[in-house]
Structures are given as C-alpha cells and as structure tokens.
Structure 1
C-alpha cells in the first residue's frame, strides 16, 4: 500500500494554537504529513514522535526508505536528492536534526522545499527551540505552507507532568501499575526523564502481571532511597531519624542540596493550597488546577500538621532555598536544618 502523507491527520489531533494553522499532534500518536515539525526541548518525546512516524509509514509500506540529515552540517542539494522519487517509487522518510542550528544553505533550500514538497516523501524537522535560528522556516510551516503538522515536545519539569508521562507509558502498553508504585517510580527518577522512560519500559517488558509497590522496590529500591522526594516524604511524615538518614544517604550519593530543598518546597506548596478545605478532592483539584491524586496525597501529608507549623515550615524552606543557592557557605547544613524543622514541626533549636 502506498503511503498517503499529504492528508491532514485526524487521529491523535489536539487543539491547534491560535498562532498555528496546522494540526497539533501528540507525540504518543504522531502521523505522517509532507512536513512533520517536531518542536520543543524534550528529547525522549521527540524520539518517540519520530519513531512513531517511521513505524506508521513502515506499516503502510515495508519498502520505506529512511534517510538522515543534519541541518547544521548540510551539503547543498541533499534534501531534494533524498526526497526525490526513486526508480521504483518507494515512500521516503527524511529525518532532519539540528534545525535550531541550521546552516544558511539548509534554510534556503528548506524554505523552497516546503513550497513544493515531493510526492511520497515525509520530511521530519527536529527543532529543539533552544535558539531562534530557523524561525522563518518554522513560521512558514505553522502558517500552513507545505501541508505540515506539528508535534510539540515541551519540557517535562513538574512532578505532576512526570507522573502523567509515566502513567501514559503504562497505559499505552496496556499495563496496570498501582498509583503508589507509580509515584515511587517517578520519585526515583525525578531528575532524568530519559531514565524514567527506560525504567517504565523495563518494568513493562519484565513484569508479566500488574506492577505493585514491591516490584518497584525490588527493581529500584536503592535508587528510591536517595531521591529528593524520599527525603521530603519522610521529613513531612515526621520521621525525623529516618529523614536525616535518607538525607545523608542522598548527599553521600551525590545529590545536590538545591533539588532537595525544591522537592520539600513543592510538597509544602501543595499542602498549603489544600489545608483547611472541606471540598471533595475532585472539586478541589478542578478549582486549583491540580490532579485528584495530588490533592489526596496533600491531605494525607497534612495529617498531624497545624497551620502554624506549616507556616513555620514554609518560612524555613524559603530561608533554606536562598542559602543553598549561595546565601550560605554551608548548603549541607542549611538543608539538614530544614529537614529538622520539617520533621519536628518546630523552629530550629526549639
């Protein structure tokens, strides 16, 4: 079957931003088009999007020809040569990396190409957004020139975004994982989405049934013990001795005080937004723009906390945040003092 990349994909399409005239697709369900713009800094998602386009085309025609180009090390004429029909008319996929660093020669030829894309060719353009280089090309594609689509891969930074990412990995694979096990897994790889993705895929491949806490602990228990959120969880739960041991283990393993404080601050902010509310979790989550599980977790974290203790903890966190970012000569002491305040729920030295 011959591929039909010129059609505007319907499956997987998301709402198109006001500044873009082309369909916006999820990186989990990309489809081919004459031009596929894969934008944004998150490499894991970008790689999945590009692989998804390749798999889609390969399923339609196993004779697919795949070629790779670098826009920043570009030989004139390469794009047209690779996209032109071959003797037997096989479909072509041209993957172009480094568009955010593209040469003048590539930019000129790419702008000309999108005015008249080759039949049977799909060109995937990867732009990380790290520079404005190539903006003229991106603007032209987003204006609809070339009949393209865009797959946005924004940075995954927030804990809730990482949770959603990991949950999507298991959902896509048709695999069930307990919410508590999923959160433990996300906490274990809070600083590296690539490693989180690999961990999810390992569990999906290795574990035949449902995935629970014991499975995650068996695979990644050593990693979990040294994460920022493990420190935050034990301190907020009031387990002072365990919190200090976990903190020292984390620091001995190379953890930086800045993300340790950031993890505590993140959890305290969520607790502060939820404290005192009697609304059902679903309604409160909708009003605050949060996930239901975040509200439920914050309510559990608040057990045993008074509003004054929470205020003291937030003030201590603000102080520690400044100290670990340069206001103190001893950031390790700053984070240890913070853990003490959090775990004892009292001012330091009280």
Structure 2
C-alpha cells in the first residue's frame, strides 16, 4: 500500500521573537524584514531602553557593506569607565566578507555590556550564515521581525496601535479615513498618526482628520467610492468633480472603487459571523461589517456588472482611453444607478 510522504515541519527559530513595539535588549538583536518604519521604531525603542538604564550609553553606527576590519570588536570592547555600548549595524543583507567573518566570530564571544543590532532587510540571502547562527541561539540573541505591511487590515492595525500606545482615542471612522488617506505610504501614515497624537489635545474625531488630511487623494477617492456604491448618483458626481478639481489622479480613484467592490464580493452571500469571516478572509471585523452594509440594494448581477465596469475603467485611466475623466464618469454612473451606461437616459 502506497504511503503519502509527509512534509517536514518548517524549522522555527530557537531564539525569542519580539514585537517591534516592545523589543528588549540582548547581546545581539536581529531586526529582520523589509519594513523600515517598523525596524526604525524597534531600533529607537532599544536605544531608549538602554539609555533609560544608563544615560552614559555609547551609540555607534556601522555599515556592513562598507566595513573596516576590526571595527566591531573595537566598538563593543569595554571602555576605561565601563559605559554600556550600543552598536547599530545596517546593510547586513549586502555585508562585506570582512564583516561577515567578524560578526560570526563575535557571536562566540559577545562583549559584556554591549548590544549589537543587526539590521537585515531580507532583500538578499547575503549574510545567511550569520542569520542562521543568530537564530540558532549563538550569541544569546533575539529577533524582531518587521514583515511588510501590505494589506489594508495590516495598515489599520498599525495605525490603531499607534494611538493605543499613546493612550489616545480615535473614532473608528476617523481611523479608517486616516488609513485610507495614506494607503500607499506607511512612513507618511506613521508621521500623520504622530502628528495627530502630538497636536490634538482630546479625542480624535472625523472632523479632526478631515481638517488635517481632507485634501489627500485617497481620502477623496474613498468619498467618491462610498457615495457611488450607496447609490447617491448626484453626490457621487459632485464628489468626483471636486476630487478631480483638487488634483486627484483618476488611477487611485478607480483603485478605491475596486477595493470596496472586492470586499463586497468577498462577503456576498456568506452567513458566517463577522469575526469568523474576517479571520478566514484576512480582513478586520469592521471591514466585513462595512462591506455587508454596502451590499444593501445590490444583487449578484449588479455587483458583477459593477466589477466589469471597474475593470474597463481601470484599463482606460491607465492609457487605453484618451479621456480618463469620461471613463470615470461612466463608471460612477453605472455603479450609482446599478444599470448599464446609457440606460439612465430617457428615450426620445
């Protein structure tokens, strides 16, 4: 009787995996992954942690790709007065042979009072021998994963965490608007969160976010999408013209509509609880609830028609048409009226 071969389980790192929001110092700290915003936060948090313990902390920066032999040992060795040392190493994914050899050797004998942060973006396999050694536990290290923030739900979690960490309340709808406004740039989203946290004395409302960031392209895009999907044809056209007049590009406008229609299609016809469905689809509970509300008045036929119209408009605003504004207006008309373009016009 034939047997089915079982795949060996993935090997897990044997060192502690720490959140980038609450990292802890260790002789060696591996900050891995492509998201620089999270990596910078983790590095800053470790520095502040060490500085709070001893203000005399010596901080040094090293580039692994432009490395002078002997630098790592020189910077980590105890000084005359025994101050703690923090050495921040960047570019490990493109490190020189000299650095790689010395760093691997360093793991066998980490210096007392020294913390070495190794930043590896994962952009290449360069330095794999060093990463494997750290993850195997050599040197008493820890790892701080900084995975890419790509999905809307990940950006929402990031922004929500910013306000929670600052013990600042923000209305869910205001948070959604803020995340939509900076959907393509986590650095700008992080800066916007910190600006609101530092500038606004009380709770952060829809009106506050609109006052600060109402002119953002993506915010205007989702306003257009919301009004069109809700069937408010006149309001949707006015919102579209306002967005275009304020400098919005047609491409993100179509992208916002497509994003909402995709969410609607995912939840259409499902009867699971919001929590169970969100977990299965990689969404947040509020996203499922919003998509279900958006589906009121829609059928499989009209939703399919809207998705096809959006695909056509997407191609047209990216160069398939000489008149992207007309393509947008036609799309808004189809979605807001839930009817083929031209069916809205009275027959003569």
- Correspondence 1:45 to 2:69: no
CA contact (8 A) 1:226 1:250 kept: no
CA contact (8 A) 1:184 1:224 kept: no
The 3-state SS of whatever aligns with 2:224 is helix
CA contact (8 A) 1:225 1:249 kept: no
Aligned counterpart, 2:91: 98
Q: How do 1:182-331 and structure 2 match up within 5 A?
A: 182-223=175-216, 227-251=220-244, 255-324=248-317
Find the aligned partners of 1:143 and 1:252 in 2 and give their Cα distance. 57
Find the aligned partners of 1:235 and 1:243 in 2 and give their Cα distance. 5
Moved more, 279-288 or 196-205: 279-288
Aligned counterpart, 1:6: none
Per-residue CA deviations over 1:272-318 (Å, capped at 9, x if unaligned) read 12223344433433444432111111112112222211111122233
CA contact (8 A) 1:226 1:253 kept: no
- 1:158 is matched with which residue: 125, 148, 151? 151
- 1:125 is matched with which residue: 118, 122, 127? 118
Shift of 1:212: 1.3
The 3-state SS of whatever aligns with 2:214 is helix
Find the aligned partners of 1:127 and 1:160 in 2 and give their Cα distance. 25
Aligned counterpart, 1:137: 130
Moved more, 101-110 or 258-267: 258-267
Per-residue CA deviations over 1:35-88 (Å, capped at 9, x if unaligned) read 111111211111100001111111222211111111122111111111111111
Residue 128 and residue 229 in structure 1: after superposition, are their counterparts in 2 closer, same or farther (change >3 A)? farther
CA contact (8 A) 1:185 1:224 kept: no
Shift of 1:227: 4.2
Aligned counterpart, 2:170: 177
CA contact (8 A) 2:153 2:282 kept: no
Moved more, 251-260 or 97-106: 251-260
Find the aligned partners of 2:328 and 2:108 in 1 and give their Cα distance. 57
Find the aligned partners of 1:139 and 1:228 in 2 and give their Cα distance. 45
- Correspondence 1:58 to 2:44: no
Please list every run of 5 or more consecutive structure 1 residues that lacks an aligned counterpart in the other structure: 1-16
Aligned counterpart, 1:29: 22
Could you say what the CA RMSD is over the residues aligned between the two structures, in angstroms?
A: 2.3
Per-residue CA deviations over 1:133-191 (Å, capped at 9, x if unaligned) read 22222222222221111111111121111111110001111111110111111111111
Moved more, 158-167 or 137-146: 137-146
Residue 131 and residue 332 in structure 1: after superposition, are their counterparts in 2 closer, same or farther (change >3 A)? farther
Aligned counterpart, 2:5: none
Per-residue CA deviations over 1:15-40 (Å, capped at 9, x if unaligned) read xx843221111110011111111111
Find the aligned partners of 1:77 and 1:317 in 2 and give their Cα distance. 59
Please list every run of 5 or more consecutive structure 2 residues that lacks an aligned counterpart in the other structure: 1-9, 344-348
Residue 228 and residue 153 in structure 1: after superposition, are their counterparts in 2 closer, same or farther (change >3 A)? farther
Query: What TM-score does the superposition give when structure 1 sets the normalisation length?
Result: 0.87
Residue 253 and residue 192 in structure 1: after superposition, are their counterparts in 2 closer, same or farther (change >3 A)? farther
Shift of 1:123: 0.7
Query: What TM-score does the superposition give when structure 2 sets the normalisation length?
Result: 0.87
Give the number of aligned pairs. 334
